[in-house]
Amino acid sequence: MPFCQQCGSQASDTADFCFNCGADVASTAIALPGISPGWKARFAVLQKAGGVDMPQSIALTMGERAMVRFNLLAFLFGPAYYAVKGMWRKALTLCALSLVLMLLFRMLLAGVGLGGSGFVHTAYLIAPALFATRANVDYFTKMVLRDDGWL
């Protein structure tokens, strides 16, 4: 949950105003120093979607959904991108998760008789896809919600 930068109390993920002091939580959460305008735009769209779980994502346009659900640099550079953003714990967790998923995928393909086909190489897209689809939400969680955990 985000915290109000005026009074410090916890604010709802979906509320626009602090229930304690009435401050505009959405705009103060985005007014983080040292954050580029591009990230502020992504954070604003995530706030519009209702926070990390994005319960109101249906209200987003296709362009806004693409903006918050995919990160090209994270797709290309994966763990290195996460490390540069200061999310090394999450990078380690996602690396371990993608390794497990790749092994399970390859075992599944071998089990159905497709182990020797070219389809097996699609397993190598699991890690980049995982990093690309999690990067924006994970950075939002770190910067706005102040949660730099392992998951």
Is residue 49 domain-shared with residue 12, that is, in the same domain? Answer: yes
Q: Which residues contact 60 (CB under 8 A, 6 or more apart)?
A: 45, 48, 49, 68
Q: What percent of the chain has pLDDT over 70?
A: 79
Q: Is the pLDDT of residue 63 over 60?
A: yes
**By the 8 A CB rule, do 80 and 90 touch?**
no
SS3 state at 112: coil
Domain count, the chain: 2
Answer whether residue 143 is part of any domain: no
pLDDT in tens, 89-145: 999 999 999 999 999 998 998 899 887 777 778 888 999 999 999 999 999 999 888
Answer whether residue 147 is part of any domain: no
Answer whether residue 151 is part of any domain: no
